[in-house]
Chain A
Amino acid sequence: MTNEIIIQWIMDLIMFFLLYLIVTMNLNFMYGYTGIPHFGISLSVAGGGYVVGALSGRMLRWWYNVYPELDFMYENGKITDQINLYLAHDPVTGIGLFIFILAISLILNACLGYIVSRPAIRLTGSYLIIVLIGMAEAVRVIGMNYYPLVGGTFWVHVPDAFAWMGTFRRYGYLLIACLFTLIVFLLLQSLSTSPLARVVRAVRENSVSAECVGKDVVGIRTRIVVLCSALTSIAGVLYGFYIHAVLSTSYTRATWTFYPWLMFMVGGVGNNMGATVGTFIFITLRRLIIFYKHSIEAYVPFQVQWLEQIMIGIMLLLIIIFRPQGLIPERPTKMRGLNYEQVEDEFREKGIKLPEKQAKRENVFIKRLLRK
């Protein structure tokens, strides 16, 4: 029995790590590389979740013709149970549904990303943050109040598209989640070493000079937001299929905007490894807190989740104050297919000074300290 609990705990840990990793990597690409402070990232996750909740059950009910006379939202559990019985012997429909939902979610969330970023993408900083926070709140309010979408403040069951895997299902789903996270990781990693990343960093560092050399700054910003919104929605889709339900109240600003921000601030802004490390540390910590929550709950006259929020907030403040660059600082982009030693030699021949390496500078600093 305890063994079972430990396995479940580890699997939850890995799953949430993967889900949050998708979000943090996209966030990192938007803020760390392009300089778009997307404080409404929860809306893309919610968008993915809404697509799963609203479409998957309805489509399968139409496909299998289960209880066509019942109201979908009110008799949700009954319909989903019946659909799951069919799905247990129908891998083709299950996989087809999953891919179809994913595709729809990518397209819809790309559009959503365009719509929410449109008013303020020309402006930077505070205006953009205000608008994005407001938009995320709007998406949440719509999900909570528009009953036919995902059942308002109740939830909607999601059919188990991988029921045909049988007992292997929970490991199988983890593998699928791994696969999609890997795809997103590789995509963003290759983007971050591509010419696009250099343009994007130029936009981040100095948008005026980027515009002067003929780059369409607003266009690039918009494209990055659209791309990353679409990719982030994968996390929402995977989450919906993982817990077999979509709950509109779970896409709060704290859980899907604030925590991902914290994760990649911990790990280091501007590189994917930092985002990964930060996410792993944070998720482990959080799952541990959740695991031991009930043992603390008996001693305090309030819910432990508030204490958790306070702790996390203080942690973030300390990190911002004492280590704003994160655990793994950003390095200059390496271009693929370029011999760096040769470039350095050429630079030396021409008498161009190379920037000192970070490690060397630190050593000099330590030596000076020791001399004193």
Chain B
Amino acid sequence: MFPPIIKDALVYANCVTMMSIGFTLVYMISRVPNFAQSTFAVLGVYCTFSMVRILEINPYIAMPLGFLLGAALALVVYLGVVNTLTKYGAGPILLTISLLALQQIFLAGVQIYADYVRNVIGIYSRGFMLRVNDFRVGEFPGVLLVSTVLIVVIIASLHLVLTRTQFGIAMRATVENAPLAAVLGINVKRISVVSWVITGGLAGLAGTFLPLWFSSGPASGGTLSTSVFAASVVGGLSSIYGAMIGGYVISLLEVWGSYLLMRQLGLWAGAYRMLIPLTLMSLFLMYEPGGIVSLIEKIQERYLRPKKTRRGQST
């Protein structure tokens, strides 16, 4: 009844959207692409793995744990490296290199954990899939329901925080102009810390869902990261709503596109799945660098708003 390809697409889209929201949030506030983010997701993946395979308890206990671990790590990354380097006057390139270095370090840490589990505890720890440990409601797998509910809650609460609270307004002010916001008494550093914590937490949370539906391991962060980059760039890297739209557009197109290609050309086409988000991202950068947000604005400008004369007076 309910085709498995839609389940695939939705679970993947939920994970990618969670991560691209965080990626965009950090980029908007700190102007740094957070390349270490995919590793936070790998951390979440191994949280679920430890819950199910080592402790043999419900995988959903990993959810808060993944969130907290990701958030804590992001806090360490921000205070330990990003903030220190910014104080020393490092530009975005140096920050990028250091984030890549951090990614290598964390990934190596995860690999050590995986090796340890395999060699000492004796459990196969790479390329696992935990679908059987998930609960089911009718024909819907639990991970699909839980992740969909969670993403709706996350989007709604982010929207409310950004539009209805003092803190959200301060956050938006920081995005618009950080020095000016600081002059007006907004604690820019606190806002950066919060944005990094949210990013890390969301990435860890997204990671905890992955092994419940897809085959995962230390490399799953790498495969996820291309989609997340593409989703954020297509979303415009300038608004959280753009990141949401970009996340769904990219990941649904990726899963559907690879499914269609596999049906048309044969199973080998599935291996080149990551080329789809990459191509979409390249096309957007070449023809619409502002992403979907600016595309929507252009369409609104052309068709929905009253036309303006050359001097800016509406007719």
Q: Which stretch in A56-64, A117-125, A277-285 binds the other chain? A: A117-125
Q: A265-B97, A309-B108, A310-B105 are known contacts. Are A320 and B90 too (CB-CB below 8 A)?
A: yes
Give chain A interface residues in 85-137, CB to chain B under 8 Å.
118-120, 122-123, 125-127, 129-131, 133-135, 137
Determine the chain B residues whose CB is within 8 A of the CB of A302 once the complex forms: 111-112, 115-116, 119
Q: A126-B33, A138-B275, A145-B272 are known contacts. Are A310 and B98 too (CB-CB below 8 A)?
A: no
- Report whether A301 and B271 are in contact in the complex, using a CB–CB cutoff of 8 Å: no
Instruction: Indicate whether A261 reaches chain B with its CB closer than 8 angstroms.
Output: yes
Determine the chain B residues whose CB is within 8 A of the CB of A314 once the complex forms: 101, 105
Give chain B interface residues in 32-49, CB to chain A under 8 Å.
32-33, 35
In the complex, per-residue mask of A274-306: 1 if CB is within 8 Å of any chain B CB, else 0: 000000000000000000000000000111001
Instruction: Indicate whether B130 reaches chain A with its CB closer than 8 angstroms.
Output: no
Determine the chain B residues whose CB is within 8 A of the CB of A195 once the complex forms: none
- Report whether B289 and A127 are in contact in the complex, using a CB–CB cutoff of 8 Å: yes
Q: A37-B96, A265-B97 are known contacts. Are A324 and B105 too (CB-CB below 8 A)?
A: no
Q: Is the interface of B mostly helix, strand, loop or mixed?
A: helix
> Which A residue's beta carbon lies closest to that of B268?
A145
Q: A37-B96, A307-B108, A309-B105 are known contacts. Are A134 and B281 too (CB-CB below 8 A)?
A: yes
- Report whether B100 and A324 are in contact in the complex, using a CB–CB cutoff of 8 Å: no
Q: A130-B233, A306-B108, A321-B84 are known contacts. Are A301 and B92 too (CB-CB below 8 A)?
A: no
For the complex, what is the distance from the CA of A122 to the CA of B283, rounded to whole Å?
13
Q: Which stretch in B57-65, B172-180, B222-230, B302-310 binds the other chain? A: B222-230
Determine the chain A residues whose CB is within 8 A of the CB of B289 once the complex forms: 122-123, 127
Interchain CB contact (< 8 A) of B90 among A141, A258, A312, A324: A324
Instruction: Indicate whether A39 reaches chain B with its CB closer than 8 angstroms.
Output: yes
Determine the chain B residues whose CB is within 8 A of the CB of A130 once the complex forms: 33, 229, 233, 281
Interchain CB contact (< 8 A) of A145 among B119, B271, B277: B271
B interface, size bucket: 35 or more
In the complex, per-residue mask of B111-140: 1 if CB is within 8 Å of any chain A CB, else 0: 110011001100000000000000000000
Q: A301-B115, A317-B102 are known contacts. Are A310 and B271 too (CB-CB below 8 A)?
A: no
- Report whether B285 and A142 are in contact in the complex, using a CB–CB cutoff of 8 Å: no
For the complex, what is the distance from the CA of A265 to the CA of B101, rounded to whole Å?
12
Instruction: Indicate whether B25 reaches chain A with its CB closer than 8 angstroms.
Output: no
How many residues belonging to A are interface residues under a CB distance threshold of 8 Å? 43
Chain B residues close to A by CB (< 8 Å): 27, 31-33, 35, 81, 84-85, 88, 90, 92-94, 96-98, 100-102, 104-105, 107-109, 111-112, 115-116, 119-120, 222, 226, 229-230, 233, 237, 268, 271-272, 274-275, 277-278, 281-283, 285-286, 289
11 interchain pairs (CB within 8 A)? Answer: A120-B282, A123-B285, A130-B229, A131-B282, A134-B230, A138-B278, A141-B271, A303-B115, A310-B105, A316-B98, A321-B88
